[in-house]
Structure 1
């Protein structure tokens, strides 16, 4: 049979055709592996090792909390992708980590933390100057401190970045770290509005740290012998650690873009959809997959909402509460997608427990909002908690829906799977494993959550 094809001259034609097809496949593959136009690579300041080591100890030390029982790591732990693995955290009045966190029946939390604990990946990159889901803290040279915050007149200079300044918020929150009124000197100062004042909450916390010999010695090395330790210094050390520990810029995606190392086929197809038909890159742009802007995507609302104590509603109107601009209602900051496969649950309210679920929400936000499966929420038990007031209010659901910015996108199940494969290719395994990790002990001698 082969001789027949050879004599007829068709064998050579077939071989030539196959060669041309193979060449065409190579050309197509080369085109697909061309680097994307993502703009400048993110850059990170070089960190002084003594500052990083000091920041690591402070990050895991409960000494910064009013009752000395909660650390930064309680809600931002590497075991849970620098989050805490639940939709809405339990802060003061609870113990244990992640989904196993339990409320203390003798000292119940007043409410859940209103928003999902945001991940810390790449917050130390230059240009990442907007913090929190609503952007209520951001670098702004128009302010004397260089940072705009809700504290306004209580804000002080000395924080070296928006990242270091964000450390001041959890320690001032009764629900997060300060404690209930009357429980300790820090919570009392907060309730009396004594924040950055002499002898106020920040001074009390800084004084605790300064009284511990090892911290005193370590601050001497970075500030100078006997220099006064201010809360701003504590924030700066925490930021140094976060910049170093959770820098995530060596994923398969990075290696594909920088070195031409091809992604796995499913991830490559997912990347094509991400930057093409799915439209994800319209908001999740640049190297870190965020425009640092604010968008309304009809995310289901869980929990007590973002409200003052005197307000009775359970709404979270997002950016509106910062700007006062009605057009900002229900808008939230675009999160970076680096290591996103590790950071469930997703959304400002932690409404979705899986990456697939939140991807499908983005494809058709209005349908997803109206058909939301409440079993997706990961909510540790809390007696008397307000969990579903917003979703039980048809008028509020309609307000969330009316603000939606996204248009529906149709993808097949296979295309969704490819998109998820691409998102998983944004994982930097070195950063995920941690560079310093969790310390064995901290200078205060208090327990370290592992």
Structure 2
């Protein structure tokens, strides 16, 4: 453990001896230069990095496909096609666009029945003639980024309803025991699960609000997937233009295979997963610093890193307690009393609440707990929280530091840019989560957010450090065209003419 308080480090560097103006007194030592202060902070950071065993690269020893690989290209064709939605008005990319940080830039997503299916991000709205229309977003949770899907080993989704019980490091959940909503009793392995990413790809198409729509009757998960496979094969005659066989032959490099053997449920979702796995973006200034480049971070960013990694009792913010490792997530579930906005998941008296992990485990300790997100590329993956309650990264940091004040002062209009987000029960629902958090602080071994007093300058430093976790491609600093590799152009076959051509306001 590092000795001394964080603030003491800076104080010792700046202290100077008093002089009584006696000719024989010892001259006051010169104040340390900026370079000397930075060198000391860099040294302390390097000690912290070593003690935590950080390498800077969470993708080490993982199977990361190239976006140029044929299977990833097929996955991109599928990811952008509205043919995978029940009513052919929505694509995977509707809520997970690379140019929107792998999300949709909305607090809460609008999947099916959008006024303009090709308009993404702010301005996307649910049609007034749509099912259960109330003017607000129809999906009750924020769309997690698809960036760095390859780096999760334990669970997917905010509540972890897709979970690898083995959670073998670097394996993306691959193994014999992945629990999913398709598991027979909630504890039995999903027989179709191969990895977390490939299994996750199977579920958005089954959600009525996300992609399934409301006009296919009561098809269960298996039936809707079978229907989509039949559609791509041409068996339902729903596609006026159908070149999916050629696309699958190219993607799987089997030019002579027929539709029956190639266009299968497993092949469809494995291809989508390959595209998602290729979206691995970890080339950050922080990685460069950890790997030895002292100049990869400036002094403000280094001070922010110290705050991040230092315990509260030593003058830091202790963010590392949950945002641990090179991936900056412990992959566990915590209640941080994130404001509850939107329709909710049907929990609580009015059904407008979301009990989070409790919905899966039915363990009271898990009520209001949600999975710790990774902080890689966090600058570009907002809005933040399971409900997208904060647009500003600075404000969500302040919420972590002083939850009670944040909840007391929370107003949707001040923190959410999206129009018409439902919030009638926000204060009551959020207070329930806060009460649970405060009670949990008194339970031994139960992790709860600590109050941390930081100055405005220190919060600025902490946010500056978080910005150093942005991949250069995602930030588009040096190559504005870098992310275009994950957006299909006219040279890539559009197999059904239903490719979503995104528009942004």
TM-score normalised by L of structure 1? 0.85
Instruction: Name the CA shift for 1:179/1:27 in 2 (closer, same or farther; >3 Å).
Output: closer
Instruction: Name the CA shift for 1:217/1:373 in 2 (closer, same or farther; >3 Å).
Output: same
Deviations 1:336-394 (A, max 9, x none): 0111111121111111111111010001112211210221123334xxx7x1233253x
Secondary structure of the 1:240 match is helix
Query: Do structure 1's residue 118 and structure 2's residue 134 form an aligned pair?
Result: no
Query: In 2, Cα distance between the equivalents of 1:336 and 1:115?
Result: 17
Q: Is the 8 A contact 2:247 2:495 kept in 1?
A: no
Query: Do structure 1's residue 140 and structure 2's residue 165 form an aligned pair?
Result: yes
Q: Is the 8 A contact 1:109 1:175 kept in 2?
A: no
Instruction: Name the CA shift for 1:24/1:426 in 2 (closer, same or farther; >3 Å).
Output: closer
Q: Indicate the residue corresponding to 1:205 in structure 2.
A: 228
1:10-21 matched pairs, under 5 angstroms = none
Paired positions, count: 418
Q: Is the 8 A contact 2:101 2:474 kept in 1?
A: no
Q: Is the 8 A contact 2:300 2:461 kept in 1?
A: yes
Query: In 2, Cα distance between the equivalents of 1:115 and 1:179?
Result: 17
Q: Is the 8 A contact 2:301 2:462 kept in 1?
A: yes
Query: Do structure 1's residue 356 and structure 2's residue 394 form an aligned pair?
Result: yes
Superposition deviation, residue 32 in structure 1: 3.8
Q: Indicate the residue corresponding to 1:84 in structure 2.
A: 104
Query: In 1, Cα distance between the equivalents of 2:146 and 2:386?
Result: 14
Instruction: Name the CA shift for 1:261/1:237 in 2 (closer, same or farther; >3 Å).
Output: farther
Query: In 1, Cα distance between the equivalents of 2:33 and 2:452?
Result: 33
Deviations 1:98-127 (A, max 9, x none): 1110222233555621101111221112x5
Secondary structure of the 1:67 match is coil
Q: Indicate the residue corresponding to 2:249 in structure 1.
A: 220
Query: Do structure 1's residue 437 and structure 2's residue 481 form an aligned pair?
Result: no
Query: In 1, Cα distance between the equivalents of 2:350 and 2:386?
Result: 20
Query: In 1, Cα distance between the equivalents of 2:127 and 2:426?
Result: 27
Segments of structure 1 that go 5 or more residues without pairing to the other structure are: 1-9
Out of 282, 287, 291, the position equivalent to 1:249 is 282
Query: In 1, Cα distance between the equivalents of 2:330 and 2:389?
Result: 22
Q: Is the 8 A contact 1:129 1:163 kept in 2?
A: no
Q: Is the 8 A contact 2:99 2:483 kept in 1?
A: no
Out of 327, 351, 358, the position equivalent to 1:288 is 327
Q: Which moved more, 1:210-219 or 1:251-260?
A: 210-219
Instruction: Name the CA shift for 1:77/1:27 in 2 (closer, same or farther; >3 Å).
Output: closer
Query: In 2, Cα distance between the equivalents of 1:19 and 1:351?
Result: 45
Deviations 1:424-445 (A, max 9, x none): 1100022454262311353211
Deviations 1:167-203 (A, max 9, x none): 12211111111111xx2xxx32xx243x22xxx1111
Q: Indicate the residue corresponding to 1:229 in structure 2.
A: 263
Q: Indicate the residue corresponding to 2:435 in structure 1.
A: 402
Query: In 2, Cα distance between the equivalents of 1:438 and 1:268?
Result: 35
Out of 447, 457, 464, the position equivalent to 1:414 is 457
Out of 475, 485, 498, the position equivalent to 1:446 is 498
Superposition deviation, residue 128 in structure 1: 3.0
Q: Is the 8 A contact 1:290 1:335 kept in 2?
A: yes
Secondary structure of the 2:391 match is coil
Superposition deviation, residue 152 in structure 1: 1.6
Q: Indicate the residue corresponding to 1:47 in structure 2.
A: 65
Superposition deviation, residue 39 in structure 1: 4.3
Query: In 1, Cα distance between the equivalents of 2:121 and 2:192?
Result: 33
Secondary structure of the 1:271 match is helix
Query: In 1, Cα distance between the equivalents of 2:433 and 2:35?
Result: 51
Q: Indicate the residue corresponding to 1:306 in structure 2.
A: 345
Query: Do structure 1's residue 321 and structure 2's residue 359 form an aligned pair?
Result: yes
Secondary structure of the 2:426 match is coil
Query: In 2, Cα distance between the equivalents of 1:19 and 1:401?
Result: 46
Secondary structure of the 1:152 match is coil
Secondary structure of the 2:485 match is coil
Secondary structure of the 1:347 match is coil
Q: Indicate the residue corresponding to 2:121 in structure 1.
A: 98
Q: Indicate the residue corresponding to 1:4 in structure 2.
A: none
Query: In 2, Cα distance between the equivalents of 1:23 and 1:282?
Result: 30
Q: Indicate the residue corresponding to 2:181 in structure 1.
A: 150
Query: Do structure 1's residue 346 and structure 2's residue 384 form an aligned pair?
Result: yes
Q: Indicate the residue corresponding to 1:7 in structure 2.
A: none
Superposition deviation, residue 205 in structure 1: 0.8
Instruction: Name the CA shift for 1:145/1:223 in 2 (closer, same or farther; >3 Å).
Output: farther
TM-score normalised by L of structure 2? 0.76
Q: Is the 8 A contact 2:307 2:462 kept in 1?
A: yes
Q: Which moved more, 1:67-76 or 1:34-43?
A: 34-43
Instruction: Name the CA shift for 1:56/1:350 in 2 (closer, same or farther; >3 Å).
Output: same
Superposition deviation, residue 223 in structure 1: 7.1
Q: Is the 8 A contact 1:90 1:109 kept in 2?
A: no
Instruction: Name the CA shift for 1:216/1:315 in 2 (closer, same or farther; >3 Å).
Output: same
